[in-house]
Every structure is written in structure tokens, then in C-alpha cells.
Amino acid sequence: MKNGYIQFFKCFLSIFLLSFSFNVFSQNPMLPGYYADPSIKKIDNKYYLYVTTDGYGPFGNDGLTFVWISDNLVDWKPEPLEGLPNETIWAPAIIKGKNERFYLYCQNSIDYTGYVWVGDLPTGPFKKVDHLGGFDLEPFQDPVSKKIYVISATQELFEMDNDVSSPTYLTKIARKISLKGNFDFTEGPYMFYRNGLYYLMWAGGRCWEKSYNVRYAVSKNVEGPYTDGKDNPIIQTDEKNRIIGPGHNSLMEIDNRYFLFYHREDNSRAPTCNYRFPCVSEVSFDENGNIKLLKYIDDLGKSLNHKSKYANLALHKDVFANTEASEFSVQNVVDGKNDTRWTTPVNQSGILTIDLGQIQNAKGMEVDFEYADKWHTFKIEISPDNINWTMLSDHSEQAIQAYKAMYINQDFKTRYVRLTILNSEDRTASVWEVKVFGEQQAK
């Protein structure tokens, strides 16, 4: 009878822990780090995710502005947008002109108004051309008229100079259109066209509150009038699934499916408008063109059956550290989540060791520091036995910005990987994920 009680208790405990685990994690962000206002574009078979660099309180962005680039919607790498200042850039969004140049529209975080920059590549270098005004600018090309507009959170549509021979092509407003219609409107506007309907999307509520959400309105004319969409909002705070304050979106059709890209708040810091993660959900359209949320997406690549070139040999492996701050366990660096991290107490260096279980043939590594743009001193070593160590990457003597050293592209053999973070701008060691790449196994 005693054994029966023990077995019952074990079974109950297993079920309890399993059910608890489903509620611990929230929707997995696309990227490791604090990035907001995602604007996704496909250019020459590559995906470009333009974002606001977040995580700098109390007034928001003070960091380096990145675009994250991927061939497969699985493996993303950051590149700084050359020519832009290291701070003050909010909500960058881009469009390619008929002259093959790239026009980047963004907002300044000090004067809260919009600007246009021009470059020859989607990563720049960009040169500031003009001050447009408006707020939260996002370009849109009308597939019917072929004209390029810029939508502003001031509930205006800017018809740009569309004469490609003009010196002010796409940099000067030819006409300001006050959008007609009766609809709630706050910020983060986005426009697209589908099956004879123009869709105007925006973020309702306030970005620092749980009221933030994604809404839409529709019209048969680009200038309106727009009618508030059915079943609004499309996505909103869902505390059961630990989604807080989703908003400021873009949308893309991929493989005949529609995906909504937006940010949500970091649950460990919410409510806040300064620590946000880029996420994605799938939406659908009914026969009348109404938008409905289908599901939250934790792994966009897996959902699309797109595979990474390499397997992560470190995923869910044993990992140990010399120290960790409360709620920021070292186990987080191998859990496959972009919103959980290992962090040490302030003024303490961090040393973590991953045991791959056996000697593995690795093709490279990735270390996702909490802030890709901040300076660190660190080193990475490998060992077959946890005794004899070989240096793999050494930045212990000269500080380096994390994004410049987060990838190691070389083959090596090892069972153990040791990361030592000696110092950082925040005087902590803080990492989202450590990945060790190996060949994908054929199925």
C-alpha cells in the first residue's frame, strides 16, 4: 500500500510539473534581445527585419540600430544600419525605389517626428535627406496605382514625389491626405492591399500599458473612408499565455500564409515601453476579408518547415555556472527561448560550462548576449575532458561589442564549452542563449 501511495504521488507530481511548465513560458520571441516595432521586408531573397533597439530606460532607445537578416526565417544575424546615429532612431522602415536605391523612414526619439534617409543597400550607409514630420512612418506601395505612400500615426497618408527623375523622389511629400473614417487610432500604422481591399493597421492603447493591441480598418479606396474591422483587436494582452502589450506590427505573406510581426513586453519587467521582444503570429482572412488570429507562433521556421543549416548541439544539455542572479538561472542559456536569460549579480564575472554529453564535431558557435550592441570582455574555451582547455575565442584583454564576436565560424571537436565573461557595460554577465552548431541529422 505504501508503494502504491509513492507511485501515485510520483504520477501526480509529474502531471503537476508538466502542467506548470506549459504556463511558465510565454511566446518565444524571434530574436534574442530587446527589439520593438518590427517592419519586415523581403529583398533579393533575403528577409530583413528592421527594429527599434530597445532595453534602454527610462525613455527608450539609446542603442545601436540594427537590421536582422535571414535567408530562411530561422537563422538571423544583426547588421548595424550604417550612417544612422547610435541613438534616437525609432521604428525604422524601408522601401526600394524604382532607381534601385533604398529609402528608410524613421522617427527621432527626441523631437518625435519623422525623417527620410537614403542609401544604396538595405543596410546602408544611409544619408539623412529631409525632415518629413508625422509620427511612426511606414512606407506602402499601392499595387493598383503603383504609387508609393508613407503612412503616419497622425492619421495621414503622405503621397510622396513619385517622379523617379526628380531630385526629391520619395523624399518630398507631394500631397498630405487626411485619412477618412471612424476608427480608433493611436500609433504604429501599417498598410497593405489584398483582394480589392486596403487594410489600415495600427496599435491601439498605450505601449506602456496592458491595453496595447493590434487593430485594423478596411476600405476600397486608399484614401478611405476606412471602416473599423470586425473582431477587433486582432491580438491583445493574453495573460494566460503571458503575452502583454502586443502592438506596432507589420505583415507578410509567406508560402501562401499570412504572418503578423509585432512586439510584446518582457514579462519580467512589464508594464513597460522600454523592454520589448519581436514576435510573430499567424492570421487568416475569411471570405469577406475580415482578419482573425489563428495562432501564436513560437518557431516561425518550424511552422513553415524551414530548417536551420545546423543543429544546436547544446540544446537542453547540462550546464553549470559559478553564480547566477535570482530568477536568471544558467539553465536558461540552453532552453531554446529568446526571452529567458542567465545573469550574474552586479560586479560578478560569470563562468558557464556546457557539457555536450560526448565529444562532438562542431561547425561553429553563437553566444546571444543580452545586449548585442554593448561592450564586453570575454573568452570561450573548449575541452574534451573538462580538465585540459583550448582557447577558441579570446576577447579578454580588449573589449568588443557583442554583435561583432557573437558568432564563431570554425570547425572544432569538443565535449565541454566554457564561456567566461569578465566584464560588461552593465557590470554583469548576461546571456540569452549559447548555441553549438553541428550537422543536421538525416531523418
Separation of CA 347 from chain center: 29
Phi, psi of 16 (to 5 degrees): -60, -45
Distances (CA, A) of 383 to 342, 350, 387, 394, 418: 22, 18, 7, 15, 8
DSSP output for 301-369: HHHTT---SEEETTTT-EEEES---TT--GGGGGSS-SS--EEPPTT--EEEEEEEEEEEEE-EEEEEE
Mean of the per-residue pLDDT values for the chain?
92
pLDDT band at 12 (very low <50, low <70, confident <90, very high): very low
Among residues 420, 411, 359, the alpha carbon closest in space to that of 386 is found at 359
Answer yes or no: are the C-beta atoms of 351 and 379 closer than 8 Å. no
Number of other CB atoms surrounding residue 253 within 10 Å: 11
Q: How far apart are CA 148 and CA 96, in angstroms?
A: 10
- The CATH code belonging to domain 310-439 is 2.60.120.260
Give the mean pLDDT of 142-152. Answer: 98
Looking at residues 357-366, what average pLDDT do you find? 98
Pairing between strand 181-182 and 226-228?
parallel
Q: What is the pLDDT of residue 18?
A: 34
Look-up of cell digits 502542467:
19
* Beta-carbon contacts of residue 397 (< 8 Å; ≥ 6 apart): 377
Cβ distance 134 to 113 under 8 Å?
A: yes
In 168-316, DSSP assigns E strands to: 173-178, 181-182, 187-194, 197-204, 213-219, 226-228, 247-254, 257-265, 276-285, 291-297, 310-312
Q: What is the pLDDT of residue 7?
A: 40
Establish whether the linkage from the previous residue to 189 is cis, with ω within 30° of 0: no
Q: Each residue of 368-384: pLDDT tens digit?
A: 999 999 999 999 999 99
For residue 101, pLDDT over 60 is answered with yes
d(CA 352, CA 43): 39
Per-residue pLDDT tens over the stretch 267-324: 888 788 889 999 999 999 999 999 999 999 999 999 999 989 899 999 999 999 999 9
Cell numbers at 407, concatenated: 558568432
Position 4 pLDDT exceeds 80: no
* Integer Cα distance of 443 and 440 in angstroms: 9
Does the structure show a pLDDT above 70 at 193? Answer: yes
Q: Is 32 helix (H, G, I), strand (E, B) or coil?
A: coil
What's the rounded Cα separation, in Å, for the pair 440 and 309? 7
Quick one: CA dihedral 182, 186, 187, 190, positive or negative?
negative
Q: Whose CA is closest to 126, among 140, 115, 134, 137?
A: 115
* Sheet-wide strand order for 375-383: 318-321, 350-362, 412-424, 375-383, 390-401
Whether the per-residue pLDDT at 441 is higher than 80: the answer is no
Name the residue with cell 531554446: 336
> Cell for 290?
475580415
- Please compute the mean of the pLDDT values over residues 223-233 and round it to a whole number: 95
Band of residue 11 on the pLDDT scale cut at 50, 70, 90: very low
What grid cell was written down for 338?
A: 529568446
Residue 23 pLDDT level (bands cut at 50, 70, 90): very low
378 and 420 in contact (C-beta within 8 Å)?
yes
* pLDDT tens sequence across 322-336: 999 999 999 999 999
416-430 pLDDT tens trace: 999 999 999 999 999
d(CA 140, CA 358): 52
pLDDT above 70 (res 57): yes
Question: What count of residues does the chain have?
Answer: 443
Decide if 333 contacts 341 (C-beta within 8 A): yes
pLDDT for position 124: 97
- Give me the amino acid identity at 262: Y
User: Residue ranges per domain, the chain?
Assistant: 35-303, 310-439
Note if the bond before 271 is cis, omega within 30 degrees: yes
Q: What pLDDT, on the 0 to 100 scale, is given for residue 372?
A: 97
Burial environment of residue 232 by CB neighbours within 10 A (0 to 12, 13 to 18, 19 or more): middle
Per-residue pLDDT of 58-90, as tens digits, reads: 765 678 999 999 999 999 999 999 999 878 899
Give the helix/strand (H/E) hosting 69.
strand 66-70
How are beta strands 156-160 and 407-408 bridged, if at all? unpaired
Distance of CA 340 to the CA centre of its chain: 14
pLDDT at 359: 98
3-state secondary structure of 116: strand
What is the per-residue pLDDT for 8?
Answer: 38
Q: Are 391 and 355 in contact (CB under 8 A)?
A: no
* Superfamily holding 35-303: Glycosyl hydrolase domain; family 43 (2.115.10.20)
Grid cell in block for residue 303: 511552422
CB of 319 closer than 8 Å to CB of 330? yes
